Structure 1
Amino acid sequence: MSDSRPVTAFGPDFPFAYDDWLRHPAGLGTIPPERLGTEVAVIGAGAAGIIAGHELMKLGLRPILYESARFGGRLRSEIFEGTEDIVAELGGMRFPVSSTGFYHYVDLVGLDSAPFPNPLTPAAGSTVIDLEGETHFARTLDDLPRLYHEVAAAYRAALNEHADFAALQQAVRERDVPGLKRLWDPLVAQWDERTFYDFVASSRAFQALSFRHREVFGQVGFGTGGWDSDFPNSMLEILRVNLLELDDNQHFILGGVETVLHRLWRQPAACAHWPAGTTLAGLNGGATLGRACRIARRGGGFTVTDQWGNARDYAAVLATCQSHLLTTSVAVEEALFDQKLWMALDRTRYMQAAKSFVMVDRPFWKDIDPATGRPVLSMTLTDRLTRGSYFFDNGPDRPAVICLSYSWMTDALKVLPLAPEKRIALALDALEKVYPGVDIRSHIRGNPICVSWESDENFLGAFKGALPGHYRYNHRMYGHFMQADMPPEQRGIFLAGDGISWTPAWVEGAVQTALNAVWGVMAHLGGACHAENPGPGDLWPAIGPVALPD
């Protein structure tokens, strides 16, 4: 009988229980007394930077934060003009409950979450799927035509055919490290160089169906929507999403996810060395430093120079920025990284994404059309320009929010050069074809909020999307915190962020790599974990990711 324990983001490449490490009463570890108060540079005030800074502070170190633009990174909650708490989530907006490391910090700062209005979920209420001009209304999968059931069943069959998925997920539930590695590690060699589309098209289940089934799968997909933008990616990337239920049971953070980081920035914690009431904000004088423009070796440590020419010396550096910025915006001394790591950082491929939001006077989409007896608008998946449209209800007497369009890759590039007003006009034109006669425009208030992450000089893309053959690159980046065998000139600078992780686009990857870096900094400065609570670096030799030959 299957285990009832929940799926968490445990492995599969490195099955270390980060949530247990965080919760253990012994704490993460200790720093030698002579190193207490040591300054460590943290480049980037996003999720990885703030979480790493918080934990380094608790160890008795002094993390100094640099931020090139806006606090929060891609956890960006933009407040609509004229309101105090009506937000558009421009970056991360849906957070699977399997992300137990991330929710540790959500709980720590006292924030609540609610189910995200994904398609065919109770939170959405109703869903409309519009493909090739044919529209279907549904509240659950049972309401959709047979073809959609066949697509869903075929993908489940493909997962079990190619990956023994049920056994894999049971090993994740049980946190069965030997069992998980026995099943997962062979899949790395089998599927690193093969695409998501190959996985689907080569399965017996999909081969027994038509091209139309694969086309619908690409447009509507599984979980939150269509995944054809990911068809060129390495199948390992998608398998992790499925296995760890990253695309299932998702919540959004009430009040805006950026609030998690703002609160953690000001959150007092019990710290070694520092007095009671110490906060990360306090150790930084209440504000981050500006853009880090140069990182260079200085003696046994580093010098970081900011945009104003101010140089400060540090014992260690943690870079959480997007990897391409380390060769474009930040002048990083080349000798600090091995050439194979530079290859990985430069070759990492990032995907494009665009979102367009409007604020409306009220959640009018819940109005019932007397002719059909259905809501006038529903969560919408379509092959039109908008791709995915989502509706956020803040209460019957308050302004509401519509994400008119969330799109990736080619669909995102279609609107890249366009001003917000033009993007909104195109989205409305597309939705009016799905919902003829529904007047969305009359409900819009204020100015739209839009984003294209690839046009932002501080991000150059939304999130990593590993291509076939990129496992080795990911392994080099993720394992960089293990530095004992590196030459001395390469030690002491660390990497973190979801782009360094095995799970790009999910904040849990930022959390886990931040905690790896915390362990790395602690070890670099002569510290260690408590024997009863070993950290990721302590267990790496035994359970680290499988290595593929070069």
Structure 2
Amino acid sequence: MTHAGAAPTMFVPDFPFPYDDWVRHPAGLGAVPPDRLGAPVAVVGGGLSGLVAAYELLRSGLRPVVYEAGALGGRMRSVPFAEDPRCVAEMGAMRFPRAASTLFHYVDELGLATYPFPNPLADCTPSTVVHLAGRTHHARSLEELPTVYQQVADAWDKALRELAERSTLEDAIRRRDVPLLKAVWNRLVARLDDQSFYGFLASAPSFESFRFREIFGQVGFGAGGWDTDFPNSILEILRVVYTGADEAHVGIEGGSQRLPEGLWSHRPDRVAHWPSGTSLESLHGGAPRPAVTRIRRDGADFVVTDASGGQDRFAAVVYTPHLWTLLGRVDCAPGLLPTPLWTAIERTHYMGSSKVFVLTDRPFWRDTDPATGRDVMGMTLTDRTPRGVYLFDNGPDSPGVICLSYTWNDDSRKLATLSIEDRVEVLLERLGEIYPDVDIRSHVIGSPLGVTWEDEPHFMGAFKANLPGHYRYQRRLFTHFAQDGLPPAQRGFFLCGDDVSWTAGFAEGAVTTALNAVWGVLRHLGGGTPPDNPGPGDVFDRIAPVALPET
């Protein structure tokens, strides 16, 4: 099958299924037999994946019961500043690629407005400042940076073309040419699964220079530096590049948490079994159930225990939190999953990440420096402690928001033991070295906000990132929704969420794996998809991820 459009699309090469077409089809996703209408299905986790799954199960006439340990939204966490609740700090997901076409089905269904996200050198970003090795450069485009930055960008493009078939894969993804895409990508998976991102760069003739590799790690491509990803599998990076996931980003007006909260309260136009006007919120009496503490199987049903001590029986369970929660946070019977799947869960690797935000009296960074004629401050990439600094302008007469620091892995841990106030002091001191003539502190109002995701007990990291050699584990996790080959005692329990997807860290993966779980639940309960709108499991054998040898 080929696709008429040529726009970037997160048509993931491991499993190139058109989720956006499937979810928009007028025939709907599927149905269950009449005697199954209203059957309860446990949905563990009220993040984006859980709420997409619950929303579509509701539309199919089932009764999703959502359990949530904290606030709805998961890592779509938008925290308002006490001094001006109109301004929010995006603690988790804050930018979304336009290529995430399945995600934007739900953004559009809820009528949420978006805005261009101020990434480095983006068209909407007034000024970008690159500060490396003590030297500061101001630019609005790559061409305005010193020549070495263009040389590094060219080296990256050359490495991708020479070692990873960039032109062929990007063209196949945009045209949705599945046979070509599978043939080329499967070949790359077999060749590159054991190679790290850094190893890939070091093997490329265009990156023979260590200085090139160093600059690339600190500035990177798209949204910024990528050196904290250097230990990860190069396949993780290629998926991001080839699907357009790290370009053309937008934010959601009012905060990303509006999306999961909107799915919770939205009344879908078409819904089976339930009265018109039914929403997830109305089915739950206004609030989800508390955290799940125990899951057991009893015959054909599942028994779920929550933190209040309540127990309920369900025909199926959709499990969306970080997989590591199955290892300690939830008392989960080992027999619910095959042993190879437990091994894959144990091997899961999560990226740490921290953010620090402050509210300012106004967007002072747009002031003009009389000596240079430039903005006094810009979106900043640096090799110092802040790493990435983002500026959010709400208009000249409104407060501004600065993300003083957005860091990953080792850079995240450098500040983890400090209080939020101490973090701000350290970051302002470092930024003072980059902007010695700008009194950032004088513009800060109110209390700072921040997060370190590896210290969040129900997350234990920002998102999954596979290490070299982890492809086989990822395949086990992703393909679990197609359960025909499992014994009956291991069917009906479905994993989903972005860490089950091939594009962990991107909301599109949370959405698409939720849709996989919906397909699995419908099939488990004796239902199926419309003949003219087959689902991911219906075509699984034709487009399944390549299986690498296990011996």
TM-score exceeds 0.5: yes
| Deviation of the 1:165 alpha carbon | 0.5
Using the alignment, how far apart are the partners of 1:310 and 1:265 within structure 2?
22
2:220: which partner in 1? 221
Secondary structure of the residue aligned to 2:304 is strand
| Deviation of the 1:218 alpha carbon | 0.6
Asked if the contact 1:3–1:170 (Cα under 8 Å) also holds between the matched residues in 2, the reply is no
1:407: which partner in 2? 407
Using the alignment, how far apart are the partners of 1:387 and 1:279 within structure 2?
42
> For residue 147 of structure 2, what is the amino acid of its counterpart?
R
1:318 has 2:318 as partner: yes
> For residue 290 of structure 1, what is the amino acid of its counterpart?
P
Secondary structure of the residue aligned to 1:402 is strand
Using the alignment, how far apart are the partners of 2:526 and 2:163 within structure 1?
45
1:161: which partner in 2? 162
> For residue 122 of structure 1, what is the amino acid of its counterpart?
D
| Deviation of the 1:40 alpha carbon | 0.3
Using the alignment, how far apart are the partners of 1:100 and 1:31 within structure 2?
27
Using the alignment, how far apart are the partners of 2:351 and 2:265 within structure 1?
33
> For residue 136 of structure 1, what is the amino acid of its counterpart?
H
| Deviation of the 1:167 alpha carbon | 0.9
| Deviation of the 1:224 alpha carbon | 1.0
1:52 has 2:53 as partner: yes
> For residue 228 of structure 2, what is the amino acid of its counterpart?
S
1:261: which partner in 2? 260
| Superposition pairs of residues 57-456 of structure 1, within 5 angstroms | 57-207=58-208, 210-269=209-268, 270-456=270-456
**CA offsets, 1:490-545, max 9 Å, x none?**
10000010000000110000001000000000000001000000000001011111
Secondary structure of the residue aligned to 1:86 is strand
| Deviation of the 1:198 alpha carbon | 1.1
TM-score by length of 2: 0.98
Using the alignment, how far apart are the partners of 1:308 and 1:29 within structure 2?
34
> For residue 442 of structure 2, what is the amino acid of its counterpart?
S
> For residue 532 of structure 2, what is the amino acid of its counterpart?
E
1:539: which partner in 2? 539
Asked if the contact 1:218–1:227 (Cα under 8 Å) also holds between the matched residues in 2, the reply is yes
> For residue 382 of structure 1, what is the amino acid of its counterpart?
T
Using the alignment, how far apart are the partners of 2:437 and 2:382 within structure 1?
18
Secondary structure of the residue aligned to 2:294 is strand
| Deviation of the 1:247 alpha carbon | 0.6
The runs of at least 4 consecutive aligned structure 1 residues that moved more than 6 Å come to: none
Using the alignment, how far apart are the partners of 2:147 and 2:395 within structure 1?
36
| Deviation of the 1:202 alpha carbon | 0.6
Secondary structure of the residue aligned to 1:295 is strand
Identity among equivalent positions (%) equals 52
Asked if the contact 2:5–2:175 (Cα under 8 Å) also holds between the matched residues in 1, the reply is no
Asked if the contact 2:117–2:124 (Cα under 8 Å) also holds between the matched residues in 1, the reply is yes
1:466: which partner in 2? 466
Moved more, 474-483 or 79-88: 79-88
| Deviation of the 1:82 alpha carbon | 3.0
| Deviation of the 1:419 alpha carbon | 0.6
Using the alignment, how far apart are the partners of 1:132 and 1:456 within structure 2?
33
> For residue 394 of structure 1, what is the amino acid of its counterpart?
N
> For residue 281 of structure 2, what is the amino acid of its counterpart?
A
**CA offsets, 1:136-176, max 9 Å, x none?**
11110010111101100000000011111011000001010
1:15: which partner in 2? 16
2:25: which partner in 1? 24
**CA offsets, 1:404-443, max 9 Å, x none?**
1000010000011111001111110111000002001111
Secondary structure of the residue aligned to 1:369 is coil
Using the alignment, how far apart are the partners of 2:129 and 2:399 within structure 1?
23
> For residue 516 of structure 1, what is the amino acid of its counterpart?
N
TM-score by length of 1: 0.99
> For residue 467 of structure 2, what is the amino acid of its counterpart?
L
| Deviation of the 1:3 alpha carbon | 8.6
Asked if the contact 1:482–1:520 (Cα under 8 Å) also holds between the matched residues in 2, the reply is yes
| Deviation of the 1:84 alpha carbon | 2.8
| Deviation of the 1:272 alpha carbon | 0.6
Using the alignment, how far apart are the partners of 1:280 and 1:441 within structure 2?
44
Using the alignment, how far apart are the partners of 1:302 and 1:214 within structure 2?
51
> For residue 222 of structure 1, what is the amino acid of its counterpart?
F
Using the alignment, how far apart are the partners of 1:391 and 1:110 within structure 2?
25
**CA offsets, 1:239-293, max 9 Å, x none?**
0000011111111111101001111111111111001001011111110010100
Asked if the contact 1:117–1:379 (Cα under 8 Å) also holds between the matched residues in 2, the reply is yes
> For residue 449 of structure 1, what is the amino acid of its counterpart?
L
| Superposition pairs of residues 30-49 of structure 1, within 5 angstroms | 30-49=31-50
Using the alignment, how far apart are the partners of 2:421 and 2:85 within structure 1?
23
| Deviation of the 1:201 alpha carbon | 1.1
Structure 1 residues 3 and 366: alpha-carbon distance in aligned structure 2, compared to 1, 3 A threshold: farther
Using the alignment, how far apart are the partners of 2:418 and 2:261 within structure 1?
31
Using the alignment, how far apart are the partners of 1:410 and 1:206 within structure 2?
24
Using the alignment, how far apart are the partners of 2:456 and 2:213 within structure 1?
34
Using the alignment, how far apart are the partners of 2:81 and 2:487 within structure 1?
50
Asked if the contact 2:355–2:452 (Cα under 8 Å) also holds between the matched residues in 1, the reply is yes
Using the alignment, how far apart are the partners of 1:402 and 1:221 within structure 2?
22
1:485 has 2:485 as partner: yes
> For residue 441 of structure 2, what is the amino acid of its counterpart?
R
Using the alignment, how far apart are the partners of 1:4 and 1:432 within structure 2?
47
| Deviation of the 1:489 alpha carbon | 0.9
Secondary structure of the residue aligned to 2:539 is helix
> For residue 283 of structure 1, what is the amino acid of its counterpart?
L
